[in-house]
Amino acid sequence: MSNSLPQQELSFSQAIAATQSLMDRINANKLSEAEIKQEISLILTTKNGGRGFFVSYLTSDLSLADHPSSGIINGLKSSIEVTSELLVKNLAMSSAMIITHNRNNDLNNAEGSQKVYQRTSNLIRQTKLELVQNKLQKLQHAIDGVGVEYQEFLKRWNYDTEQKEAIKTAVINALI
């Protein structure tokens, strides 16, 4: 494995930079699948690392984010709790932001949110994590008003009815 990642806890901005560097090296075919998995595992050791990874990965201009390799999928599976929580929240946020950007006639950002939504959905399908499925159900229950786990998340982002319906549709489509 390369020594591009420090052996300390990454900040959010450091995780973004580490992920961009990792993706550049993947794109240049400089890493084995085992090295990719190991580097992603290191980035995902903390919530900030995970947040930085997903921001960089899901918004990347590189097409490799549309076709994750086994090293990427296995790296994500190495940190199930961080990965699961962030996949669910990215699915929800990107679904809601498509609505917001379309309302504002901001087609460029609507396309960006659509790309994040598609990539997140793809990662959910490919990782096949039971914890993601459980969290998706809890998010759906929160939207339906019968669950509490994601109420604070929904309230914090002040999603309106149309956005919640878009999130619910995304959740239903992501449930296996």
67 found inside a domain: yes
Handedness of CA 5, 11, 13, 16 (dihedral sign): positive
Residue 1: its pLDDT value, please?
40
Residue 9: its pLDDT value, please?
83
Range of the domain at 133: 80-176
Q: Are 25 and 2 in contact (CB under 8 A)?
A: yes
Is the model's pLDDT at 139 over the cut of 50?
yes
Query: Do 68 and 109 lie in a common domain?
Result: no
Phi and psi at residue 86, in whole multiples of 5°? -75, -30
Question: Where is the domain boundary, 21, 46, 78?
Answer: 78
For 72-117, write each residue's pLDDT tens digit: 999 999 999 999 999 999 999 999 999 999 999 999 999 999 999 9
Burial 94-129 (b: 16+ CB within 10 A, else e): bbbbbbbbeeeeeeeebebbbbbbebbbebbeebeb
Query: Do 46 and 131 lie in a common domain?
Result: no
3 found inside a domain: no
Q: Percent of the chain, pLDDT > 90?
A: 93
Query: Do 131 and 147 lie in a common domain?
Result: yes
- Residue positions counted in the chain: 176
- The model's pTM is 0.93
Query: Do 156 and 84 lie in a common domain?
Result: yes
Query: Do 54 and 107 lie in a common domain?
Result: no
For 32-83, write each residue's pLDDT tens digit: 999 999 999 999 999 999 999 999 999 999 999 999 999 999 999 999 999 9
CA distances from 25 to 12, 57, 59, 107, 122 (A): 20, 13, 17, 31, 22
Residues 6+ apart with CB under 8 A from 28: none
Across the chain, mean pLDDT equals: 94
Residues 6+ apart with CB under 8 A from 44: 50, 53, 75, 76, 78, 79, 82, 83
Question: Where is the domain boundary, 36, 52, 78?
Answer: 78
- pLDDT grade for 7, boundaries at 50, 70 and 90: low
Residue 164: its pLDDT value, please?
97
R_g (Cα) of the chain, nearest Å: 16
1 found inside a domain: no
Phi and psi at residue 146, in whole multiples of 5°? -115, 5
Q: Are 36 and 72 in contact (CB under 8 A)?
A: yes
Is the model's pLDDT at 6 over the cut of 80?
no
Query: Do 18 and 65 lie in a common domain?
Result: yes
